Amino acid sequence: MHTTTARSAAKSLSPSSKQWLARHFDDPYVRQRLSHPSQYRSRSAFKLLEIDDRHRRFLRAADVHAVVDLGAAPGGWSQVVAGFMGWQGETWAQARVKQQLDQSDGRWGLNLDAPSGHWSEGAEDASVGAEDRGVVIAVDRLRIAPIAGVHTLQADFLAPETAPMVEAIIRAKANPDGKADVILSDMAANATGNRTHDTQDSLDICHAVWNFTQKHLRTAESIGRKSGGVLLLKHFEHPELQQFRKLHLNPNFHNVLYIKPDSSRSASREGYWLCLGFRGV
């Protein structure tokens, strides 16, 4: 929605909704997203760019060929990674046109309950060397509009059948060991306002991502670089989450950093662990 139109529509909203919209459109990162030439689909794309810029540019290493993006909708992080891999991509406007065309013949319906999920290839081109650019696997319960170089999987990552499907997609891209060089997780459960419940949800997600990581992340030794094999994991500040870090992350990576990006809203309890150099389990 155009910013001016959105502000006009806000007149009929409740005071709390108006307050949220005012904060949203006054947010410098929202304004940057709307004006950025890459037309990123989400404000969170700038979180990933900031983290990568400040911490060794781990996404831009020459040996990064397979990246899994968990909780990817609407696709901002996947856009960033695909861009680093050399995929030119399509604009968000073009993707929206495709979405609308699909909606017109009924092929765009959400299918959250399908046990096998739904996956589709990104809008790849036929240029020489396209296979050498690498692949991004984007996973979310919500359908993600096409992104060049990105394979999307519509499935619940917490469901036991999802991880094997992700591995199968990676293997299908001439990556015989089914391993990823980088795993990204920006997943978060819907907040309920009950801190105990929300903390448990965050902890459950961290455990699910860790279980996937220990089976599917390539080790630093196999890559030949001490900081190779990277996990970027969102979490929410709480002692139980710190205990998770001590038990699972610190012993299994060469370096674990806590990051609160400038682009993360100050009122949010979210933070990220950037785990570099997977030792293997």
Cβ pair 169, 179 in contact under 8 A: no
Please tell me what DSSP assigns to residue 230: E
* Partners of residue 116 on adjacent β-strands: none
Catalytic residue among 226, 234, 246, 260: 234
At position 82, the amino acid (one-letter code) is A
DSSP string, the chain: --HHHHHHHGGGS-HHHHHHHHHHHH-HHHHHHHH-TT--SSTTHHHHHHHHHHTTTTTS-TT--EEEEES-TT-HHHHHHHHHTT-----HHHHHHHHHHHHHTTTT---TT-TT-EEE-------TTGGGG-EEEEEESS-----TTEEEEES-TTSTTHHHHHHHHHHTTT-TT--BSEEEE---PPP-S-HHHHHHHHHHHHHHHHHHHHHHBPPHHHHTSTT-SEEEEEEE--HHHHHHIIIIIGGGEEEEEEE--TTS-TT--EEEEEEEEE---
Is there a catalytic annotation at residue 234?
yes
Catalytic residues: 234
